[in-house]
Chains A and B, each alone.
Chain A
Amino acid sequence: MNSFYIILFLPFLFAIIVPFLFKYINKRIHTGWFVLFVPLTIFLYLLQYIPIVAKGDTREYILPWIPSLNINITTYIDGLGLLFGLLISGVGTLVILYSIYYLSKEREELHNFYIYLLMFMGAMLGLVFSDHILILYGFWELTSISSFLLIGYWFERKNSRYGALKSLLITVFGGLAMLAGFIMLILMAETYSIREMIANVGEITNHSLFITALVLVLLGAFTKSAQFPFSIWLPDAMEAPTPVSAYLHSATMVKAGIYLVARLTPIFAGSASWFWLVAGVGIVTLFYGSFNAIRQTDLKALLAFSTISQLGLVMSLLGIGSLAVYFGQSENGILFSAATFAAIFHLFNHSTFKGSLFMVVGIVDHETGTRDIRRLGGLMHVMPITFTIAVIGAFSMAGLPPFNGFLSKEMFFAGVNDVANAGVFGLEQFGLLFPIIAWVASVFTFVYCMILVFKTFTGKFRPEKLTRKVHEAPFGMLVSPIILGLIVVLVFFFPNVLGEYILIPALAAVLPMMQINASDFHISAWHGVNLELWMTIGVVVVGILLYKTLKGWVKLFNNYPYRLTLNHFYDQSLAGTEQFSQNVTNRYMTGSLRQYLVYIFAFFVLLLMGSFITLYGFQFDFSKFAPIELFDIAIVIGIVLAAFVVLFTSHRITAIVTLGAIGYFVSMFFVLFQAPDLGLTQFVVETVTTVLFLLCFYHLPKLKKNIGKISFKLTNLIISLAMGATVTILALAAFGHKVFEPISYFFEKSYELAGAKNIVNAILVDFRGFDTMLEISVLAIAGLGVYVLIRQGSRRREQSNETK
């Protein structure tokens, strides 16, 4: 086993040890310190791949799992996987460090927390390094489950459970759709490996399942990455502890969908449906998230919506970048691959500044006891370091210099401006929408970033509204956000170091068909006075104006009716489905046995008659029938008369006796058809059964003794007639179609083979003795059952007599 696999499975292995650490050592040392080394090791280990990947090399490892089914844990390390791997382990280290100070070791169930977190980390790493598409799916669902567990970490709170359930339902819905899409991909490409799919992309694009697979896979990506309209789970996932929100719901898990879109771009991109779905949904999400973020009063909810919006931005850039596949190696192709580059760049930037912002909000929550903007204010002088980090993060998010968000935002504007001039896929008409929506959304982004910083940290300090005595956070809690903040600033000043070593290899992985020329993707903070710069200036100016007049227009949001929100729709549809299923179930599960018998018989008739009619089964061959004797007719008439008596009699005892008579008639049939053993047995059994019936009759409770005739019901009549007709037709048709010779000639040699003159008995105990043995056991079980029932009944009666 390669050392890479040890690293890959390290989180899972360590998750097993965590409970012991918690139980025996947690009182002295916070369990988090032991967990901290896991992501750190992974991070340091992954660093050694940077030079390899930067040179354009990749690494591939195979760990056999189910080789006979071709399911192996194949891992593939390229630029994209490595970027995600570094993000996951790097941010993971910082988040665990932060959580050591954030979560109390006395009050919290830390073993649960770190097990879930390690599980998530391992799943996420497996997801980004998997080359086998089904293994990728397995890790994908594992991230859903561990995210569910983490959101519901404080399971005694109702909101946590609600949020966890919501996120699980939505992401698993998408995950299952994605699995269907994956299976179609496997069918189309006839391989499990993503790289081989990319190699045979021609077969996939021309296949009839292409569009279906595309939509299904995107459904998975959109639900996971909280794209419109599946974004509703993310704000509710904010019930999780803040380290979880920082890690899962800003930096890593919600980027799994982005990862998937980027990973599958070489397969699907180049088609109009992919472009419009990815770019269109992305830009709508961008607008929706930024629009809704403004009205939030809870800091974490604001960050959740901003995450939605930023993910939409990355998604739309990926969509725009997919045009590069369409244009190929041309000037336009290079132009649009810059959009993909911007997507990867912003993806990285977002992880840094959003992680730090969540941590900042967590600190504010931890030190003041509230996250409500309306109760906060004036924290700048109390918490100067936190304030500085918040400014860095928020200004970067707003796209201001000198932070890394500025660079990627400029590249984003360049991308949407280019797409307006692309002139394909109907962009001639609608292309202009992209820059307009993007610009408006950026203005909103600017406004909520300002709200985040200035409503929280400036203004009047009102300690009387806060429950705790406010002071600066402990240093340990500040380390992680400071590191992230430093990265935010450093990336602005030295973007090309990052670009050369990580982003360009990642770009090469997303667009393997392009010749990536490193000099085309040189990031520079200043590239002359152009349209993008003017757009940014416009964002700042309009944004400041809007922020200043915020009080005037933010109330407009309140007029937006709750009934039209997606949350309302989700709740209603959930309740509606529940109600609907309950109604349906109550409707047919009436508890009446007669009703169920009607279903069973009706189904039986429909199935048999249906197949008779569709398969032309009405072919009767009467040539093999034996001649009918007079006695046969007499007994048949007797049976029919007796059956009618059973149906129409008003006395139970008559019905019982007549049933007995039918049994004796059948026994006479056996006589007529020369089956003495059967006749014998039938006679005895019929007698015993009739006696048992009489026993039951005698013990009927007095109240209901005089129930009259069976009441007439049309449904029952129809069903019973149809049933009888079906069985008769079936028997008649089956008799005429004997395909093979009967095997009874074999048993005719019973005397030679078994020394028995009675052929029936020879079959029962010699040729087919197994059946007899099992029927003996059936009788034994029935006898024991009756015994137990009677004994228990009498015991219960005794008990009830005693209690009286």
Chain B
Amino acid sequence: MFKTVLFISLCLLALTILLNLYRVVKGPTSADRIQALDSVGINLIASIGIFSVLFHTRAFFDLMLLIGILSFIGTIAFARFIERSVVIERDN
């Protein structure tokens, strides 16, 4: 019973990721794409969490944190890129 619930939620997450990816491919502006990628990252975190429950392991918690940080940094970097057209500014 519990397993079925987990399985269904995984499927739903996969569907979400797919829909997000559609936005990544289609999205008219860059901002749409970045938003969608950010949300893909969060969905990945969720699905890894469910996998961890399925496998009865704590080994992947680091990975979840890492994805959280990476998607945060990535989104910030892209945002800076869109706004200032460089990611890291030079010292003058």
Contact = CB atoms under 8 A, between A and B. Distances in A.
Interface of A: 631, 634, 654, 657, 661, 664, 668, 671-672, 674, 676, 679-680, 683-684, 687, 691
B51 to A, nearest CB: 6
Nearest to B7: A630
13 contacts: A668-B44, A668-B48, A671-B51, A671-B63, A676-B62, A679-B60, A679-B63, A680-B63, A683-B63, A683-B66, A687-B70, A687-B74, A691-B77
B67 interface: yes
Given A671-B48, A683-B66, A683-B67, A676 B14 contact: no
B2 interface: no
Nearest to B67: A683
Interface in B1-58: 10, 14, 21, 24-25, 44, 48, 51, 55, 57
Given A671-B48, A674-B55, A684 B60 contact: no
Contacts of B59: 674, 676
A654 B22 CA distance: 12
4 tightest CB-CB pairs across the interface, nearest first?
A676-B59, A679-B63, A680-B63, A676-B60
Contacts of A654: 25
Contacts of B62: 676, 680
Nearest to B60: A676
Contacts of B14: 634
A676 B70 contact: no
A657 B21 CA distance: 11
Nearest to A686: B70
Nearest to A661: B21
B60 A664 contact: no
Pick the most buried of B63, B67, B77: most chain A CB atoms within 10 A of its CB.
B63
Contacts of B44: 664, 668
A633 to B, nearest CB: 12
B63 to A, nearest CB: 5
Contacts of B48: 668, 671
A578 B59 CA distance: 66
Contacts, number: 36
Contacts of B60: 671, 676, 679
Given A671-B63, A672-B51, A679-B63, A684 B70 contact: yes
A424 to B, nearest CB: 92
Contacts of B24: 657
B35 to A, nearest CB: 14
Nearest to A635: B14
Contacts of B21: 661
Contacts of A684: 66, 70
B63 A676 contact: yes
A670 to B, nearest CB: 9
Nearest to A642: B21
B65 to A, nearest CB: 10
A637 to B, nearest CB: 11
B81 to A, nearest CB: 9
Contacts of B66: 680, 683-684
A104 B14 CA distance: 96
A676 B57 CA distance: 10
Given A671-B48, A671-B63, A683 B70 contact: yes
Contacts of A664: 44
A687 B38 CA distance: 13
Interface in B49-91: 51, 55, 57, 59-60, 62-63, 66-67, 70, 74, 77
A413 to B, nearest CB: 99
A683 B59 CA distance: 15
Nearest to B69: A684
A736 B40 CA distance: 38
A648 to B, nearest CB: 13
A309 to B, nearest CB: 85
Contacts of A691: 74, 77
A683 B10 CA distance: 20
B12 to A, nearest CB: 13
B8 to A, nearest CB: 12
Contacts of B51: 671-672
A634 to B, nearest CB: 7
A496 to B, nearest CB: 103
B57 A674 contact: yes
A683 B55 CA distance: 20
Nearest to A698: B81
A654 B66 CA distance: 24
Contacts of A687: 70, 74
Contacts of B10: 631
A691 B60 CA distance: 24
Nearest to A687: B70
Given A671-B48, A680-B66, A684-B66, 14 more contacts: A631-B10, A661-B21, A664-B44, A668-B44, A671-B51, A671-B63, A674-B55, A674-B57, A676-B57, A676-B60, A676-B63, A680-B62, A680-B63, A687-B74
Contacts of A634: 14
A369 B33 CA distance: 92
A634 B55 CA distance: 17
B50 to A, nearest CB: 11
Nearest to B18: A638
Contacts of A672: 51
A661 B36 CA distance: 13
A683 B60 CA distance: 12
Contacts of A657: 24
A687 B75 CA distance: 12
A616 to B, nearest CB: 41
B14 to A, nearest CB: 7
A657 B24 CA distance: 9
Nearest to B62: A680
A692 to B, nearest CB: 12
A316 B66 CA distance: 90
A199 to B, nearest CB: 79
A680 B24 CA distance: 24
A4 to B, nearest CB: 81
A672 B50 CA distance: 11
A684 B59 CA distance: 17
Contacts of A674: 55, 57, 59
A661 B24 CA distance: 11
Contacts of A676: 57, 59-60, 62-63
Contacts of A671: 48, 51, 60, 63
A631 B13 CA distance: 13
B30 to A, nearest CB: 10
A660 to B, nearest CB: 9
A213 to B, nearest CB: 71
Nearest to B71: A687
A668 B52 CA distance: 12
A656 to B, nearest CB: 12
A634 B62 CA distance: 24
A676 B48 CA distance: 11
B73 to A, nearest CB: 8
B69 to A, nearest CB: 10
A766 B82 CA distance: 45
A668 B43 CA distance: 12
Contacts of A661: 21
A699 to B, nearest CB: 12
A671 B10 CA distance: 14
A674 B59 CA distance: 8
A661 B66 CA distance: 16
B67 to A, nearest CB: 6
Contacts of B67: 683
A634 B14 CA distance: 9
A671 B50 CA distance: 11
A680 B48 CA distance: 12
B72 to A, nearest CB: 12
Contacts of B77: 691
Nearest to A645: B25
